[in-house]
């Protein structure tokens, strides 16, 4: 006799602390898949995993417990079984709770589990917020298997949480105790290449245990983190069923045991995007959720006709639609005619065109310099002169945002290469509510993403179109022929801040490909190599590597005060990922 179990994987986009909204979202998802035998929610579904120090707040903990009761009642009302990720009781002598899960079946708590391995690296602070299972006593300290009654049969289910599947011990003990299927609830944030790394971990666990692994991950952005979803089931025969990246919703997988253990009855292979498409998608998702979850009605940014602001324009129009995108073109005496015309052609040709007003800053700039000259009896210095222009533009954008009642989110346009090297002005171009380019290198990401998007505007990739539509509920914007020509010019134009006559970025920085190669080895390799090793690896002069490292160390105070942005790379300049002293004499 064949045993079957229908497992609903709820890949949902939760908002931190939105207890009622998260509950209602989950309820609707469960009602849409009522035929399932068991419903699996992501890690910390009740609160959202990105709750940080709210996990230590007594009232927050009480609210989580209150909503756990709501989930128990829901399981009774719908006559079903729900796996709920939530903070759970810890030892009474501690303010910490455990990162746990509860299984409610038809109104009864039938199982619970507390996370064993607490990540304490990169963006993770579980040790700060939670106690581990191994710190508990009594039943809470045990790894147990749920004997799940189904159509007169018993299916033995083992549960674990996120980091637990990165090690072999928890899954091994679950199988030793009789688990026939392992279900892992997760809140595993996105980073470049992490998807393939995760799948390799799935293969290891399934190969070691000989039973299927059900992996349910959340999706969407919260502050500087973004989750890609990619919930999946992998069985011992290597059959994979995977929900598409960035798609919110529920999908039910059927596992059947015809005598050799449970196996997938249907496969759904991974839909593969290229690197540029994937980064464009995840940066967009993080930006959308930050803007919308914080209640902004639209976006506003400075549009210069350069590469960075043109890419921000493309991202914003694709995500929000041209009707929610606003830009200010703010020419100075040093802005080239080509920059002005490129900006105008980009703004008018993306979708149906977005609002881009021209606000010249020359009069204000000259007046400020004249006042300085009058009061001090000397000319403003070169660097101060350049920063003044950026700060006037920042003031202008702030005024426009405030005039709109604060409902227009200022988008930053500084890329990762500039931010790491301090090539930006505090209270000027580093100002903003959110910076979608914050973790995107100029040559590694910004230019390739623009090339990809331009190529897609000419000859669309149907797979990228499909995944984008599923993630955002709207198609990528069409670009007019004039817009495509302008973007081609933007890509080909040598980068320049245009803050003095004939200025090029290479006046202050090395060519971006050379600079980014060293920055990547320092940042994304996580300080694991000496300057000498990096020099040998890249065929560079050691003195140049040391110069880049020193350049990167100096402006920590600027990074600290810059707008939040999406983590994309393995190491990002976001506050989640970067914890360096502002005052430090280490050279």
Q: What is the DSSP code string of 46-100?
A: TT-STTGGGGG-HHHHHHHHHHHHHHHHHHHHHT-EEEEEEEE---TTSS-EEEE
Distance in angstroms (rounded) separating the CA atoms of residues 29 and 48:
16
State the average pLDDT over residues 245-265: 94
CA angle 290, 291, 295 (to 5 degrees): 110
pLDDT > 80? residue 96: yes
Nearest-angstrom CA–CA distance, 312 and 86: 36
**Domains in the chain, ordered, with CATH?**
3-271 (3.60.110.10), 276-501 (3.40.50.620)
- The whole-number average pLDDT for the span 176-181 is 96
**520/418 Cα distance (integer angstroms):** 13
pLDDT at residue 249 tops 90? yes
User: Closest by alpha carbon to 101, among 89, 90, 91, 87?
Assistant: 87
Tell me what the mean pLDDT of segment 245-272 comes to. Answer: 94
Asked if residue 587 has pLDDT above 70, the reply is no
Query: Are 431 and 393 within 8 A, CB to CB?
Result: no
**Average pLDDT rounded to a whole number, residues 119-134:** 91
pLDDT at 333: 93
Judge whether residue 123 has pLDDT over 70: yes
Mean pLDDT of 324-344: 94
Over residues 178-195, mean pLDDT = 95
Please name the residues in contact with 461: beta carbons below 8 A apart, sequence gap of 6 or more.
277
- Concerning whether 44 is annotated as a catalytic residue, the answer is no
Check residue 451 and give its pLDDT: 98
Q: Is the pLDDT of residue 505 over 90?
A: no
Annotated active-site residue in 68, 98, 160, 162:
162
CA distances 399 to 359, 389, 394, 395, 402, Å, are: 12, 15, 9, 6, 5
115 flagged as catalytic: yes
Catalytic residue among 25, 43, 96, 224: 43
Average pLDDT, rounded, for the chain = 94
Confirm whether 489 is a catalytic residue. Answer: no
Residues 392-411, mean pLDDT to the nearest whole number: 94
pLDDT at 488 over 80: yes
Quote the pLDDT of residue 566: 96
- Higher-confidence residue of 495 and 216: namely 216
pLDDT of residue 584: 82
Tokens of 43: 């890690």
Looking at residue 89, its pLDDT comes to: 83
Q: Work out the angle at residue 262's Cα, subtended by the Cα atoms of residues 256 and 268, and round it to the nearest 5 degrees.
A: 70
Check residue 92 and give its pLDDT. 58
Catalytic residue among 115, 416, 558, 576: 115
- Give the pLDDT mean for 88-116: 89
């Amino acid at each position: 006799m064949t045993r079957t179990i229908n497992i609903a994987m709820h890949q949902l986009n939760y908002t931190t602390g939105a207890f009622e909204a998260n509950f209602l979202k989950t309820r609707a998802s469960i009602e849409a898949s009522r035929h399932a035998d068991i419903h699996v929610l992501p890690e910390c579904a009740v609160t959202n995993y990105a709750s940080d120090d709210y996990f230590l707040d007594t009232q927050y903990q009480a609210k989580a417990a209150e909503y756990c009761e709501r989930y128990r009642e829901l399981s009774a009302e719908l006559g079903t079984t729900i796996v709920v990720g939530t903070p759970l009781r810890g030892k009474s002598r501690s303010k910490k709770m455990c990162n746990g899960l509860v299984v409610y079946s038809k109104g009864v708590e039938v199982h619970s589990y507390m996370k064993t391995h607490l990540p304490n690296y990169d963006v993770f602070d579980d040790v700060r917020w939670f106690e581990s299972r191994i710190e508990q006593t009594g039943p809470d300290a045990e790894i147990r298997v749920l004997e799940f009654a189904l159509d007169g049969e018993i299916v033995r289910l083992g549960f674990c949480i996120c980091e637990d599947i990165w090690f072999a011990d928890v899954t091994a003990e679950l199988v030793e105790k009789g688990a026939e299927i392992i279900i892992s609830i997760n809140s595993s944030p996105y980073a470049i290449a992490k998807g393939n790394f995760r799948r390799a971990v799935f293969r290891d666990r399934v190969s070691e245990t000989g039973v299927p692994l059900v992996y349910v991950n959340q999706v969407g952005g919260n502050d500087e983190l973004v989750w890609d979803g990619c919930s999946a089931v992998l069985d011992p025969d290597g059959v994979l069923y995977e929900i598409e990246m960035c798609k919110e919703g529920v999908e039910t997988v059927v596992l059947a045991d015809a005598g050799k253990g449970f196996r997938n009855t249907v496969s759904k292979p991974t839909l593969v995007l290229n690197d540029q498409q994937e980064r464009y998608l995840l940066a967009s998702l993080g930006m959308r959720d930050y803007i919308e979850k914080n209640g902004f009605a639209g976006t506003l940014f400075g549009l210069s006709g350069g590469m960075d602001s043109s890419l921000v324009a493309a991202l914003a129009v694709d995500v929000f639609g041209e009707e929610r995108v606003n830009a200010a073109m703010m020419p100075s005496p040093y802005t080239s005619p080509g920059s002005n015309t490129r900006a105008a052609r980009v703004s008018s040709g993306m979708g149906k065109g977005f609002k881009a007003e021209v606000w010249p800053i020359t009069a204000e700039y000259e007046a400020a310099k004249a006042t300085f000259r009058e009061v001090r009896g000397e000319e403003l210095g070169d660097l101060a002169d350049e920063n003044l222009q950026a700060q006037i533009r920042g003031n202008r954008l702030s005024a426009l945002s405030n005039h709109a009642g604060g409902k227009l989110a200022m988008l930053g346009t500084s890329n990762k290469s500039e931010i790491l090297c301090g090539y930006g002005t505090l209270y000027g171009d580093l100002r903003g509510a959110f910076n979608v380019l914050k973790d995107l290198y100029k040559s590694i990401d910004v230019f390739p993403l623009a090339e990809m998007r331009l190529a897609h505007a000419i000859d669309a990739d149907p797979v990228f179109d499909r995944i984008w539509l599923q993630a955002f509920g709207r198609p990528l914007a069409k670009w007019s022929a004039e817009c495509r020509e302008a973007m081609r010019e933007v890509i080909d134009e040598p980068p320049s801040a245009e803050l003095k006559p004939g200025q090029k970025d290479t006046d202050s920085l090395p060519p971006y490909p050379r600079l980014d190669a060293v920055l990547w080895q320092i940042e994304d390799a996580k300080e694991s190599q000496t300057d000498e090793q990096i020099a040998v690896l890249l065929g560079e002069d050691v003195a140049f590597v040391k110069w880049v490292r020193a350049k990167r160390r100096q402006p920590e105070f600027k990074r600290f005060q810059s707008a939040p942005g999406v983590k994309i790379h393995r190491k990002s300049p976001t506050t989640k990922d970067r914890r360096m002293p502002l005052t430090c004499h280490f050279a």
